Amino acid sequence: MKTRLLILEDGTVFTGTAFGSDGASQGEVVFTTGMTGYQETLSDPSFYGQIVTLTYPLIGNYGINRDDFESITPAIRGFVVRELSEQPSNWRCDTTVDAYLASQNIPGIEGIDTRKLTRIIRAKGAVRAILTEADAEVNVEEVVATLQSTPLITHHVKEVSPKAAYPSPGRGKRVVLIDFGMKHGILRELNKRDCDVLVVPYNTPAERILAWHPDGIMLSNGPGNPEDVQEGIKTVKNLIGKVPMFGICLGHQIFSLACGAKSFKLPFGHRGGNHPVKDLRTGRTDITSQNHGYAIDIESLKDTDLELTHVALNDGTCEGVRHKNYPIFTVQYHPEASPGPEDSNHLFDEFIEMMENEAAKENQHA
């Protein structure tokens, strides 16, 4: 077994056992608190460019299967666990986490104190780090200097969004899904409701989207800072008032920025499947799945046409908005779960109902 180092930009060094691929990898270290769903986590495009730490201590005990991927190609830079199961046991298991990550050229490290690492991230925020093999040539001071001088990447969405549009046919409502780094769970929920979906790249112009005459538009999740996605903001701004919309995670943030709100970076983000969110309209609290490092500033909503609809009960941050004049709503969390609780899955039904109501209004005026 090879020894591997996780070196943080503050000089902290963790020594553990290597798994997955060989070689070094650099990225931003974040943590997620899910007890299960590690396969969906490592294949979530929202983790692009990040080294993901799992706080639950035993990972890999049910292996990897063909059904639970959220993207075809995982976008994470590294995987950090306390203990990795070498002999998974599940009837759907096709391979191990170790073998899968090796096949995808992603390094992992196990056997380190993930509680200590999580406390560092909670205290200092997400930090840059490198996973590298432990040998005599590793100069920690040089690695730290390199990390501190390396700027954070800003092209996340460009890397995970598709290069061309593609259909996912159905016979129901016609939906254009703008893919900023979509989890396939979102597409599955639309297809489950028989939507006729056209998935388009993040930089597709509004006029091209409207030319397809959609009944509704879905704004997907995705990685990174929403302010970096100027093409998406411009597109959404030109779509407001033209067609019903539903946004999730990064889609929620991009829509809010398009309406004049502001975003900010959270100290260590919301990642996991146990985040309570209150619906201010009904008083209902859902336990939600989340994965984001940025949030919308609630104070900035005052000068917009947006109404705050959901708040996070852990820290009071914005978890959802609704346009005051048009049929558009967005949420910061993941109603499709994948992984996590499905308390808020009903939001997809609300989207379908919203499209049907708008179609009925148009027929009345025809």
- Catalytic site residues? 249, 334, 336
* HEC string for the chain: CCEEEEEECCCCEEEEEEEECCCCEEEEEEEECCCCCHHHHHCCHHHCCEEEEECCCEECCCCECCCCCCCCCCCCCEEEECEECCCCCCCCCCECHHHHHHHCCCEEEECCCHHHHHHHHHHHCCEEEEEEECCCCCCHHHHHHHHHHCCCCCCHHHHHCCCCCEEECCCCCEEEEEECCCCHHHHHHHHHCCCEEEEEECCCCHHHHHCCCCCEEEECCCCCCHHHCHHHHHHHHHHCCCCCEEEECHHHHHHHHHCCCCEEEEEEEEEEEEEEEEECCCCCEEEEEEEEEEEECHHHHHHCCEEEEEEECCCCCEEEEEECCCCEEEECCECCCCCCCCCCCHHHHHHHHHHHHHHHHHHHHC
